[in-house]
Structure 1
Amino acid sequence: MTNPQIPKTAPAVFFEKANGPITFVVDHPVTQPEDLKPGEVLVRIEATGVCHTDLHSWKGDWPLESKKPLVGGHEGAGRIVAIADGTMTQFKIGDAVGIKWLADSCLNCENCRIGAEATCALAKLHGYTVDGSFQRYAVSFAKHCTPIPDGLPLEVAAPILCAGVTVWKAIKEANCMPGAWCVVSGAGGGLGHLAVQYAAAIGLRVVGIDTGADKKKLLDQYGAEGFIDYMQFESDAMINEIKRVCSGEGPHAAIITSASGSAYNQALDYLRPHGALVAVGLPPDTYIKANVFSTVVKNLRIVGSYVGNRQDAIEALDFAARGKVKPQMVCEPLKNLESVYKRMEEGAIPGRIVLRC
């Protein structure tokens, strides 16, 4: 099944070596319908978010090496324009879909069967092990495409497909009841500002940790009940302040989206008994140092949360479609990607950048 208007070439951004030149071209080859393999679809990308993972992919500073040359990107929202012959799928030409970090998995192994597809040994990753969404036409895998709800603008859906899914999964991993206190570290960032909204939407009492009056104002609008500026406190005083704000006992959960290593070890000191530290952010060369005695006596949980599964993605988009969650974002053209990376490294991007393809 195909759309006859598919061109032979289209704009894309790619790199050929880690930390090497980032190249924008208008004539990148487009995979043609007859070249799709069973199970694959061709998506005309209209909007794609830019994630710190994309920056890591380009810089090559993760243990897993990415493919080269590589078209990055994994927050792509667009419409299906071709479906490979022999593909069994609920999708049809013209359907709005999202392509995410997890491009494909076997769906047969134990990890896949329990809904942990991201840890499948055969997982493929958009913008890392296979080409991603920094191009106008991207090949994806039908069984892992996410349907985008009718009426949800694609530029809004794009950042939900990674940042939104990731923090929604993390909040589910915290396993908190409505009314529980939840601290979000790095609350004003691309992940954190969405975590605040998801947590508030399910009835958690949210305290944001970040710095600056602008971020406090933003998080107040998103439902944060408290805000703590980490620049105003030394470490011990910070821990005491968090406990004080969270009814004197500390929070039930800490969602760490920050790129600061200190945020992890502080959390173990301010969590109340039975509290959960949910690790999301990936600061380099960081180790969580947990005192065994206090961890056992307080019944603390330390949980790593990677990315959400197919159902988590559908749920995350549903919040956005119902107006409960809205990413703070600025839209720019695809050719600006190199500039976006530079601003990311400088910490100069509030919320999320979405590129129009």
Structure 2
Amino acid sequence: MATPSTQIAAVVPPPGMSATSIVVISNTHPVPKPDGGDVLIKLEYSGVCHSDLHSIMGDTPMKTDVAVGAGVDEKLWMGQRVGIRVSQSEKCWREYIVSPAIHVTKIPSKLSPDLAAPLLCAGIAMYSSIMKTNSRPGDWIAILGAGGGLGHMGVQIAAKKGLRVLAIDKGEKKRQLCISLGATEFLDFSKVDIVEAVKASASGLGAHAVICTANGERAYEQSMQMLRPLGTLVCVGIPNVPFRLPATPFDMIVKGLRIVGNSAGTAKEMDELLAMAVAGDVKAHIECYELSDLLEVLGRLERSEIEGRAVLKIPE
């Protein structure tokens, strides 16, 4: 099948070019050409997250290979359903995208593309974050933003790895979602003092690990306060406005705390997560939309109206 020269794309216009929209749908966006070592991929589905909302950056898409560059074996890639981990995503949603073949992950045939797409971003980010905590079965792990696109994946992964999950979010719908996915307890931050609640649930000492997918300064302050001695905080939520974590050298030395950041994961971790998904241990809770609904999706994300993950279906 011949590759077209132009494509449909949702792009962020240059400053001053659009007074009415932060994202513009274009029907004449050029299709990129693969260079040496690259593959050209046609998107089927793409997730949309708060990072997209705040920075207007493309989420990791779901794709099918349609062309290859020099030095890439066509037989290994042509027609394969593949995905690209979040660190390789582009700054817009489009039909076609080029990626180095080395960063492309083949998607198991048992996974549908709409459910697989979130694994390449939210799923791998949370899987890698949980692995970075070095937690063991039976440990307490608190997840802030547990009912969101990132958090709901983390709840499932952590629970399947034998961790006791304290899911922190707001509202009855998110409580039901988190409990159904394996959370040990749901803590509504609008109703309780979540620092004291976490400590009370975790033997009075606090969580062994905290993963903060929220992006507010208060959420990060509370995350530090929830940790027990030798605990680990994984920073995932990207703030709109920079701020400093309230961590003193005294706290770090005496309590032996550890702070790490994470946004993606390794190829090995991606394969492990996909294996969990094939086994039915992890499944994205999605709301699917057409590409033309992108502005509505961004608005719903801003109002925190989406439980789980929003996914865009890219036109064929």
Q: TM-score, normalization: structure 1?
A: 0.81
* Higher mean C-alpha deviation, range 179-188 or range 344-353: 344-353
Retained in 1: the 8 A contact 2:126–2:150? yes
For residue 26 of structure 1, what is the aligned residue in structure 2? 27
- Aligned counterpart for 2:202 among listed residues 236, 242, 246: 246
- Structure 1 counterpart SS, 2:110: coil
Give the number of aligned pairs. Answer: 309
* Distance apart, 1:18 and its partner CA: 4.7
* Cα distance in 2 for residues equivalent to 1:309 and 1:18: 35
**2:190 is paired with a residue of what secondary structure?**
helix
Partner of 1:98: 83
1:127 aligns with 2:112: no
Structure 2 counterpart of 1:107: none
- Unmatched runs of 5 consecutive residues or more in structure 1: 59-71, 104-125
Stretch moving more, 284-293 or 139-148: 284-293
RMSD between superposed Cα atoms in Å: 1.9
- Cα offset, 1:152, TM superposition: 0.5
Q: Is the 8 A contact 2:87 2:263 kept in 1?
A: no
- Cα deviation for residue 85 of structure 1 reads 2.5
CA distance in 1, matches of 2:123, 2:178: 16
**Which residue matches 2:221?**
265
Partner of 1:158: 117
Q: Distance in 2 between matches of 1:45 and 1:8?
A: 15
Q: Deviations over 1:39-70 (max 9, x none)?
A: 11111111111122222333xxxxxxxxxxxx
Question: What SS does the corresponding residue of 1:190 show, helix, strand or coil?
Answer: coil
Instruction: Establish whether residue 228 from structure 1 lines up as the match of residue 187 from structure 2.
Output: yes
Q: Which residue of 2 aligns with 1:36?
A: 34
Residues in 2 aligned to 1:29 and 1:267: alpha-carbon distance in whole angstroms: 44
- 1:267 positional shift: 2.4
Alpha-carbon distance change, 89 to 287 in structure 1, aligned in 2, over 3 angstroms:
farther
Q: Distance in 2 between matches of 1:252 and 1:75?
A: 30
- 5+ residue gaps in structure 2? none
For each residue in 1:278-317, what CA deviation from the matched residue of structure 2 results, as whole angstroms up to 9, or x when unmatched?
1111122232111332332221111122321222222222
Judged with a 3 Å threshold, the aligned counterparts in structure 2 of structure 1 residues 18 and 97 are, in CA distance, closer, same or farther, namely: farther
1:303-342 to structure 2, matched below 5 A, reads 303-342=260-299
Q: Deviations 1:137-190 (Å, cap 9, x if unpaired)? A: 222211101111121011111111111111111101111011111110111111
Question: 2 CA distance for matches of 1:312 and 1:189?
Answer: 21
User: Percent same amino acid among aligned pairs?
Assistant: 39
Report the 3-state secondary structure (helix = DSSP H, G, I; strand = E; otherwise coil) of the residue aligned with 2:205. coil
| Matching residue of 2:43 | 45
Partner of 2:66: helix, strand, or coil?
Answer: strand
